Amino acid sequence: MGVLLENFTTVTFPQIAMWIIGALLIFLAIKKEMEPSLLLPMGFGAILINLPNSGAKHIIDVLFRVGVDNEFGELMPLILFIGIGAMIDFTPLLTNPKLMLFGAAAQFGIFFTLCLASLLGFDIKDAASIGIIGAADGPTAIAVSMELESKYVGAIMVAAYSYMALVPLVQPPIIKLCTTKKERLIRMDNTAGKAPSKMTKILFPIVVTVIVGLVAPDAVALIGFLMFGNLIRECGVLNSLSETAQKVLANLVTIFLGITISARMRAEEFLTVDTLLIIGLGLFAFIFDTFAGVMLAKIMNIFSKKKINPMIGAAGISAFPMSARVVHKLGLEEDNQNFLLMHSIGVNVSGQIASVIAGGLILTFFS
């Protein structure tokens, strides 16, 4: 009887706090539908790993070592990238390649957060790992923070995925603060640009991989797997594989990834002042990404004859496709005939590429 009751007496307050955090993540996933595919497994995993003498600790640790922290690289995030690549249609970007620049602008948050984290006393590898929250790209954040051996992987993951889920809440006030009503009413031509040929769509993933690989070799795994998935999609002869990558493969990895990440959500590691700081810095990164994207559009408007709605710059963070939808919705709120989706999706997918390049550069600089 004493053995059965032993666990009740060994429960600690930090563990209870982690159960509450886990329950909160599950609540956000189910009730608010915020990134449920990842927040729910992470929330449940947080409870699972923080039960006293949890028998799940060992198996979650094994999953973590196999899927995320093995000697060969970050297996799960990279495999997930094949699925993401197969899901992305780069047509809007290929139709208007100038949108690429917005993807770059929205990576400012990564680098400025890196500086801020460094200023706050985090060592440089941890600061770089914290900065990558601004990529708004889960797999990149996992890959970079694991490669740099950051001790804050759990907090970084929670911050990255939570803010991705909170994009509809975080971005609109920033966009509105940075733009005037007149700017938000700017209509953009949806017929501009010719649709890319099939050959262009096939060449695109190959060319991007080669260029990024030559400049930032450490980004090859990330960009290569993303573009491999896209090549499967666009080649036109592997429809079955493309569908499998988009649905079965991506779902399978996602199920395990969320619960695997919870291996780094042990109360003793997670409940620290640093975690609060990381969550605050993550918010700063998202805000600054949004601000920089909008500002670039405003600067381009000074020199451009065809005016750009500055709101589309905010879609440059790679939270795909939430950010593009948020911008489109804001456009419709101002003018119910202002359809920005085509442009915001183009910027959004360029943000996906830009965040991977930024992640690769951080690895090149600091690993």
Partner 1 sequence: MLSANILSMKMPLSEALAVSLIGIATVIVILAVIACLIILVSKAIRAIEAKTSSEKEETPAPAPAAPMAKGTSAGQVELINTNEKEAAVIMAIVAEKTGLSLERLSFKSIKLMEDEKKGDENK
Q: Which residues bind partner 1 (CB under 8 A)?
A: 93-94, 97-98, 100-101, 103-105, 107-108, 110-112, 114-115, 118-119, 123-125, 127, 194, 196-197, 199-200, 203-204, 207-208, 211-212, 215-216, 350, 353-354, 357-358, 361-362, 365-366
CB of 324 to partner 1, least distance (A): 17
The smaller minimum CB distance to partner 1, of residues 33 and 123, is found at 123
For the bound state, the minimum distance from the C-beta of residue 103 to partner 1, rounded and expressed in Å, comes to 6
CB of 162 or CB of 355, closer to partner 1 = 355
- If the CB atoms of residues 153 and 353 are measured against partner 1, the closer one turns out to be 353
Measured between alpha carbons, how far is 313 from 291 in angstroms, rounded to an integer?
8
Closest to partner 1 by CB, 76 or 101? 101
Cβ 146 to partner 1 shortest distance, Å: 17
Q: How far is the CB of 119 from partner 1 (least distance, A)?
A: 5
Q: Give the torsion sign (CA, 69, 70, 76, 81).
A: positive
Tell me the C-alpha distance between 251 and 83, whole Å. Answer: 9
CA distance 328 to 344: 7
Nearer to partner 1 by Cβ, of 134 and 172: the residue is 134
Nearer to partner 1, 125 or 266 (CB): 125
Q: Find the shortest distance in angstroms from Cβ 291 to partner 1.
A: 14
Give the nearer residue to partner 1 in terms of CB position, either 25 or 88: 88
> In whole angstroms, how close is the CB of 203 to partner 1 at the nearest point?
6
- CA-CA distance, 259 to 29, in Å (whole number)? 14
What stretch of H or E contains 331? helix 322-334
Q: How far apart are CA 273 and CA 358, in angstroms?
A: 27
For partner 1, the closer CB: 118 or 254: 118
- Give which of 309, 320, 234, 292 is closest to 101, Cα–Cα: 292
CA distance 356 to 129: 13
For 250-296, strand residue ranges (E) read: none
- Give 19 or 81: the residue with its C-beta nearer to partner 1: 81
Tell the smallest beta-carbon distance from residue 349 to partner 1 (Å). 12
Query: Residue 321: is the preceding peptide bond cis (ω within 30°)?
Result: yes
Residue 143: its H or E element: helix 138-147
Buried b (16+ CB within 10 A) or exposed e, 193-209: beebeeeebbebbeebb
Least Å from the CB of residue 361 to partner 1? 5
Residues 6+ apart with CB under 8 A from 334: 181, 184, 185
Closest among 337, 355, 335 to 293, alpha carbons compared: 355
Give the nearest distance from C-beta 31 to partner 1 in angstroms.
37
3-state secondary structure at position 67: helix
